[in-house]
Structure 1
Amino acid sequence: MPEPTQIADDLRGEFRGRLAFDAVRRMLYATDASPFQVAPFGVAFPEDAEDLAVLVRYCHEHALPLVPRGAGTGVAGESLGPGLVVDLSAEFRGILHVGADTATVEPGVVLAELNAALAKVGRRFAPDPASGASCTVGGMVATNASGGNAVRHGYTRDHVRGLGVVWDDGTRDALFSPGSPAATGLTVRTLTLVEGTAKLLRANRDLIHLARPQTPFNRCGYLLHDVLTDAGLDLPRLLCGSEGTLGFLTEATVATVPLAGGTCLALLGFPTLDAAVGAAADLHPFEPTAADLLDRRLLSLSGRGVDAVPPAVGAALLVAFEADTEREAAERAWGAVEKLKETHKLVVLAEPTCDPDGVARVRAVREAAVNGLYGIGRGPRPAAFVEDVGVPPAAVAEFLAGTQDVLKRFELSASFLVHALAGQVHTRPLIDLADPADRAKMWPVAEAVHALALALGGTVSTQHGTGIARTPWVERQYGPILPVFRELKRVFDPKNVLNPGKIIGPDPSRPAWPLRGAGQETGAGSLEPVVEGPAAPRASLLVWKETEPTAEAGKCSGCGDCRPRGGAARMCPAFTAAGLEEAAPRAMANLVRGHADLGSDDARPVVSRCVNCKMCRDECPSRVDVPRLMIEAKARRHADHGLDRVSWVLARADRLAAFASRLAPLSNAVLGNRPARWVIEKLIGLSRRRRLPSLAHQTFLRAARGERRGPVNPEAPKVAYFADTFANVFDPSVGAAAVAVLRHNGITVVVPQRQVGSGAAPLAQGDLETARELAVRNVRALADYARDGYRIVCSEPTAAMTLTQDYLLLLDDADAAAVAAATTELTTFLGGLHADGLLRTDFRPLNLELGHHVPCHLKALRGPVSGPGLLGLIPGITVQPIDVGCSGMAGPWGLAEANYDASLRAGRRMIEAFDRPGLLLGATECGSCRLQMQEGTGKRAFHPVQYLAHAYGLLPELGARLRSPLGELVSD
């Protein structure tokens, strides 16, 4: 195998993509959503199909193994290997064509992205894997993915009409199903493959037929029984499910289906798992799309969507129906429920509903149950190593009973999620991968469970790939047909360079798995040559009470849910902007878990991307506190190397703004001058393209110096108002409006004069010294108010989050805890007043249509979102929610020229939602989000409290600002 430097030299001038052989990137690609770990030789990022062909041709000539990878969401380890990992999710992201009933996409397109595009023309791609928000179409083709609706919509291979491929020698071709007008003009290499494969399949036709599993939902191994037809060899169908062992995918043409006219969901509870299985068998006449069976453990974790599950319910069926109309879907659903009521003992946990909100609530039960399993905390966690078994539906009860006996024998517990109509059983034993005793149980448990499935006429893989997890049992399942598999692999890949060790392994019976945390042999696939074991322990720079950095990072399952490119999840603005593995929160956790040198230059591209938005922490199924890990990592880098110039400026944004405000007329003139902005950009990195807010001639805190501590009315509620930088320096009318609205509602308000900026900016840069200094000053200014019963109210969600959450990472003292406990965000506080019937509603009509954006840090506070409801109290105001993603601004991060384009990409969905016709003004609680809303659309945006104050008649000057246009370089 050539050395990395030789590979780079050989490919220079031919391969346009990136190559990475450093320890950090090898670490990031050593894991996926499986429990396995194999460090690759390196990572390649080809730019397009031609570039990929150059790389494959070179690796074929030098016998360098290649491992194709999409989003890395597979749970069988199919995208892991000791060769060169080829990341096809980074550049291959184009939706090339959407036709009347087909779509052509590159392999890195995420399923949710494709379906969002198809929805515009009333279509969808039918297979629905659980990872649809992050899995790629290429990965779906490679694993022949299905999802819970396999009974109705089958597998991915049932929908593929054509594939673009690169063969093992670098030859490119376009493949189509037999009989297609496009299925002509094949290359010599492809014609040779067709001839050799057809000859092999004809010679073994009877054997292939006999080896087909009894269960109709099998995707283990090479699926050969239906690829040789009278019309010819269906190469696209053969490649589906081959896991990149036969060729590389460069594009896929897939059939689409109409969106369902009506979808209806119901949730039914049963006393036992067996009772639920028996009831599912009676659903077939009503043609449900899916019937997911959740065991008691999963139900106990659902937590939302329905009322508390009665103790008598031991299992539940979530049943989905699709039809041309809502009425037809509802009739089927109610018919099924009534039928099951007649013959089975059940509890209707959620009646059949076709209402979109009702459907979302029922679906939330399943999502919360599965995600809750991963967020159970420290110790044993669900491990995916026997979770993809399929048996004939009539044998599900027997298989479940036998599997439970196996688990009891090994003193393990597990959860069961069953696609009851298809006989697909997902068993997740709870395993502590850090415990050698638990690791030792995995192989014998897998041996017993898989043997049971095969004895019942089933398969070891129905949905999630063969990969590392199930390759050892392929020979057991197929027996005499394995030589056909081997010969097929030889025909397509004689040098065994394409994802070796999957489906056809070098030694399938080898009783060992490369488990995470188990240690690995030195050599190919080991991290030891580049990472010399665990780094020497270093004292943590943040406060860690419940856990510590390595243990926190170890909670990451690698599921890839932090890589969404569509759907409702916000997750990570950095990944949204870049689309690279190194930008995903999973990568950040892997960096810490792998004991990388967090201060190294190789680690910087990962560490520097975190903007402390907190969304990954709250949306992660495993509840990994990645922002905290990255603050720790940045702090270590800062301690070792200090800050670069731009980071230093961003960390001191509060102080620099406060200083500039003292010279407001001059500062505003400079900020509005193009040549001056060019100079500023070159000196300190502030983007000359960013429209900035003007600096106030008098800050809010200076204007409020006359305030005195203490209530005028001892019976009135008491509030200490914390303004933070935006309301203090850039738009004091936010602070004035906040105080005026509170007082209008009978609240006694004080403005502590010793308050300073919250410190969120230096904290996000890892400058703990500056952040801790500001935290100490603010805690001293606010602690007495907290102890005297004041609510500390912040108009800036970032400030509320910093005071309630981040100060506890910086200061381990009672005063900080008291301030955190007393702090709340302004609209949340006002929403509470309204809920208690205490908010005055003597508003004047405003007659405005507003687009309201919910900031990430408001979500991170984990409280109710009150802004839209408060605005809706004003007569004449219509509020259109635009809660479709992060704004991408991320505080001072979006001010830097280096981040300007990325910030707009990260906020694209929000900007597009705000830019639609009819919305002339915006509203959001976050100052930096308002900047981004204005930057992306040219429309003004204000804090909700400003609208409330104006409607109360307390802020008449806002009327003129509502009508005035934004400035070109400075907004006011």
Structure 2
Amino acid sequence: MTGIQEKTASVNNLEECLKCTVCTVYCPVTAVNPGYPGPKQAGPDGERYRLKNSAYYDESLRKCLNCKRCEVACPSGVRPADIIQAARIRYSKHSPSLRDRLLASTDFVGGIATVMAPIVNGMLSLRPVKVLMDKTIGVDAHRQFPAYSGEKFTTWWHREAEKGQSAFSKHISYFHGCYVQYNFPRLGRDLVKIMNAVGYGVHLLSGERCCGVAKIANGLIGDACRDAQRNMEAVRRSVFKENRTVVATSSTCVLTMRDEYSELLGVDNSDVRSNINLATRFLHTLVDSGEIKIAFRKDYLKNVAYHTPCHMARLGWGVHSVELLKMIPGLNLNVLQQECCGMSGTYGFKKENYKYSQAIGQTLFDNISAANPDVVATDCETCKWQIEMSTPYKVLNPVSIIAEALDVDETRKLNGLC
């Protein structure tokens, strides 16, 4: 643990902070929670004191969403969110509770829940169970849980897809993540459908673990570091031994592996960082370069509102999802003003955060209602959970919308596969 703390001691150029407070203006937590000092004070300002004396650390830093809107807004390239998260790693005396450990143990909980998905889903929807969780472990009784699938994505892939992937001349490795594996395998199946139609074989990333974002947020840093090391070993095998780039469908998984492994956990990924990509960026780059072509069904008609997740905004890659959706002839696209949904992974599940989580997301919910779409598109699974719980609208990843609209036979012909 000491090694990790030392590596995060100087996370970035905090002295470049101009004290302009634009980060505080864009902070969604500051707007609804007066108990949070804001990213300037909690980040660069506070770090100057903490570097002199660790006693200046304040547990109010746990109120930070880590949405990184402050980093997008900063005119000087300072990363207040990373400074705050690094300070939590180095100085916090808070020991993860049972709730924190359960929320962070996505592989453990997901592996058990999928085996008895109907029972688990039914139990988690019962009001008495929710009240019990609220009173005992601090998961807010109002929070709806995402449903677990009765079959893991990898089970489907081995049974239905694995055999045919070697027939393609080009290949990718898929980092499916916990959400696709345990909650929504359809998204993984949709990616396989698209990639196969444009001539790419899809392979599982051998030895994949959870990206670790929930462990970082809940203080299980040793476990997060071990998972990060294993994931980077898997990525290196894919890139250097199998000559495959790694593609994911979650904007948060991508941001965590590309940026937070090195900045927060001290896990070096410099040799493979550029080979970790988001599915929509990967696809759009191929289309834009003329390497692949995509055809869409003429009968696909839909009004879609696109929500840019905060971590997608931090990556700067929202344009790729938007441009792909714009290619669908029968799709009427409304790109919403970028607002935080307030969920931020496990943050919105916690009793002490729930009312702030909902207050943060209210502007987004109102904007969605005003747009009144057939479906909301977003690249983040926890944004999906928050929006579906707080509005009457269905939410899909852009990959799933593209797969719905895809004319598979025509796309295969355009790419010389027939």
Aligning the two structures, in what range does the TM-score lie when normalised by the shorter sequence? 0.7 to 0.9
Partner of 1:548: 10
Q: Structure 1 residues 943 and 541, CA, compared in 2 at 3 Å: closer, same or farther?
A: same
Q: What stretches of structure 2 of length at least 5 have no aligned partner?
A: 409-418
The correspondence for 1:633, drawn from 83, 87, 101, is: 87
Residue pair 1:611, 1:890 contacting (<8 A) in 2 also: yes
Quick check: 1:855–1:929 contact (8 Å CA) kept in 2? yes
Q: Give the Cα separation in 1 of the matches to 2:116 and 2:40.
A: 41
After superposition, the C-alpha distances for 1:174-216 in whole angstroms (9 at most, x for unaligned) are xxxxxxxxxxxxxxxxxxxxxxxxxxxxxxxxxxxxxxxxxxx
**Alignment partner of 2:149: what SS?**
coil
Equivalent residue for 2:272, pick from 819, 834, 848: 819
Distance 1:579 1:869, change over 3 A: farther
Following TM superposition, by how much is the alpha carbon of 1:702 offset from its aligned partner in structure 2, in angstroms? 2.3
C-alpha displacement of 1:767: 2.3
Equivalent residues of 1:803, 1:819 under 8 A apart: no
Deviation at 1:557, TM superposition (A): 2.4
Q: Deviations over 1:314-349 (max 9, x none)?
A: xxxxxxxxxxxxxxxxxxxxxxxxxxxxxxxxxxxx
Shift of 1:812: 4.3
Residues 871 and 879 in structure 1, CA contact (< 8 A), matched pair in contact too? yes
Aligned pairs for 1:110-259 within 5 A:
none
Which residue of 118, 123, 130 maps to 1:665? 118
Structure 1 residue 826, shift from structure 2 partner: 0.9
| Counterpart check, 1:738 vs 2:196 | no
Deviations 1:896-950 (A, max 9, x none): 2221111111122211110115323211011011112212212111111111111
Indicate how the Cα distance of structure 1 residues 880 and 925 shifts in structure 2: closer, same or farther if over 3 A, else same.
same
Distance 1:674 1:925, change over 3 A: same
Contact 2:50 2:56 (8 Å CA) reproduced:
no
Confirm or deny: 8 A CA contact 1:851 1:881 kept in the other structure: yes
Contact 2:306-2:378 within 8 A present in 1 as well: yes
Q: Distance in 2 between matches of 1:710 and 1:745?
A: 12
- Counterparts of 2:315 and 2:85, CA distance in 1: 18
The alignment partner of 2:252 has SS state of helix
Alignment partner of 1:694 is 2:147: yes
Q: Which whole-Å CA distance do the structure 2 matches of 1:626 and 1:765 have between them?
A: 19
CA shift, 1:574, in A, is 2.0
User: RMSD over aligned Cα, in angstroms?
Assistant: 2.6
Q: 1:583, 1:540 → 2: CA distance? A: 25
Q: How does 1:420-439 map to 2 (within 5 A)?
A: none
Q: Is the 8 A contact 1:598 1:633 kept in 2?
A: no
Q: Whose strand proportion is higher, 1 or 2?
A: 1
Letter in 1 for 2:24: R
Paired with 2:65 and 2:288, the residues of 1 have a C-alpha distance of 34
Equivalent position of 2:289 in the other structure? 836
- Code of the residue aligned with 1:548 in structure 2: it is S
> Does structure 2 conserve the Cα–Cα contact (< 8 Å) formed by 1:721 and 1:751?
yes
Instruction: Provide the secondary structure at the position in 1 that maps to 2:346.
Output: helix
In structure 1, how many angstroms separate the alpha carbons of the residues matched to 2:54 and 2:373? Answer: 46
Mapped partners of 2:120, 2:233: distance in 1: 31
Q: Counterpart in 2 of 1:924? A: 378
Q: Please state if 1:655 is matched with 2:108.
A: yes
Equivalent position of 1:891 in the other structure: 345
Contact 1:798 1:926 in 2 (8 A): yes
Of 39, 45, 52 in structure 2, the residue corresponding to residue 590 of structure 1 is 45
1:609 is the counterpart of 2:73: no
Contact 1:560 1:586 in 2 (8 A): no
TM-score for the superposition, normalised by structure 2: 0.88
Q: Separation in 2 of the partners of 1:742 and 1:914?
A: 30
Secondary structure of the 1:789 match is: coil
Matching residue within 29, 41, 58 for 1:574: 29
Residue deviations 1:538-563 (CA, integer Å, cap 9, x gap):
8762635xx825x7333322211112
Q: 1:798 aligns with which of 249, 252, 256?
A: 252
Per-residue CA deviations over 1:497-541 (Å, capped at 9, x if unaligned) read xxxxxxxxxxxxxxxxxxxxxxxxxxxxxxxxxxxxxxxxx8762
Distance 1:766-1:617 versus aligned 2 partners, 3 A rule: farther
1:832-887 per-residue CA deviation (whole Å, 9 max, x = no partner) reads 12212323123343221111101111122233522222222223210111133111
The answer to whether residue 84 in structure 2 is matched with residue 620 in structure 1 is no
Letter in 2 for 1:745: V
Q: Is the 8 A contact 1:804 1:823 kept in 2?
A: yes
SS at match of 2:43: helix
- In 1: Cα distance, 2:330 partner to 2:244 partner: 34
For residues 699-710 of structure 1, the aligned pairs below 5 Å read 699-706=152-159, 707=162
Q: SS of the residue aligned with 1:613?
A: coil
The match for 1:769 among 216, 222, 229 is 222
Structure 2 residue 21 is the aligned partner of structure 1 residue 560: yes
In structure 2, the partner of 1:910 is 364
For the residues of structure 2 that align with 1:697 and 1:793, how far apart are their CA atoms? 25
Q: Which amino acid aligns with 2:10?
A: E
1:597 Cα deviation after fit? 8.7
TM-score by length of 1: 0.39
Instruction: Within 5 Å, give how 1:515-554 maps onto structure 2.
Output: 541=5, 543=7, 548-549=10-11, 552-554=13-15
Aligned residue identity for 2:333: V
> Partner of 1:478 in structure 2?
none
Counterpart contact for 1:845–1:877, Cα < 8 Å: no
CA distance in 1, matches of 2:352, 2:36: 19
* Overall identity of the aligned pairs, in %: 23
SS of the residue corresponding to residue 698 of structure 1 reads coil
Secondary structure, in 3 states, of the residue corresponding to 1:749? strand
Task: Go from structure 1 to structure 2 and tell me whether the alpha carbon gap of 1:779 and 1:574 turns closer, same or farther (over 3 Å shift).
Answer: same
Q: Secondary structure at the match of 1:577?
A: coil
Which amino acid in 1 is paired with 2:49?
G
Alignment correspondent of 1:347:
none
Deviation at 1:684, TM superposition (A): 2.5
Aligned to 1:675: 128
Residue 915 of structure 1 aligns to which amino acid in structure 2?
S
Name the CA shift for 1:710/1:739 in 2 (closer, same or farther; >3 Å): closer
1:427-466 aligned at under 5 Å gives the runs: none
CA contact 1:691–1:935 (8 Å) conserved in 2: yes
SS at structure 1 position matched to 2:178 = helix
- Relative to structure 1, the CA distance from residue 598 to residue 650 in structure 2 (aligned partners, 3 Å threshold; closer, same or farther) is farther
Give 3-state SS (helix, strand or coil) of 2:37's partner.
helix
CA distance in 2 between counterparts of 1:712 and 1:803 reads 29
The SS at the match of 1:727 is helix
**Greater C-alpha radius of gyration:** 1
Q: 1:576 to 1:914 in 2, by over 3 A?
A: same
Q: Which amino acid aligns with 1:941?
A: V
Q: Which residue number corresponds to residue 202 of structure 2?
A: 749
Deviation of residue 603 (structure 1)? 0.3
SS state of the match for residue 750, structure 1? strand
Give the match's secondary structure for 1:695: coil
Q: In the alignment, what sits opposite 1:462? A: none
Q: Which runs of 5+ in 1 are unaligned?
A: 1-537, 565-570, 955-972
- Contact conserved, 2:249 with 2:278, CA < 8 A, in 1? yes
Partner of 1:941: 395
Q: Deviations over 1:442-497 (max 9, x none)?
A: xxxxxxxxxxxxxxxxxxxxxxxxxxxxxxxxxxxxxxxxxxxxxxxxxxxxxxxx
Structure 2: distance between partners of 1:542 and 1:925: 33
Please tell me whether the aligned partners of residues 46 and 56 of structure 2 are also in contact (alpha carbons under 8 angstroms): no
Counterpart AA for 2:174? Y
Asked which structure has the greater RCO (Cα within 8 Å, sep 6+), the reply is: 2
Give 2:7's aligned amino acid.
V
1:226-625 to structure 2, matched below 5 A, reads 541=5, 543=7, 548-549=10-11, 552-564=13-25, 571-579=26-34, 582-595=37-50, 603-605=58-60, 607-625=61-79
Q: Secondary structure at the match of 1:697?
A: coil
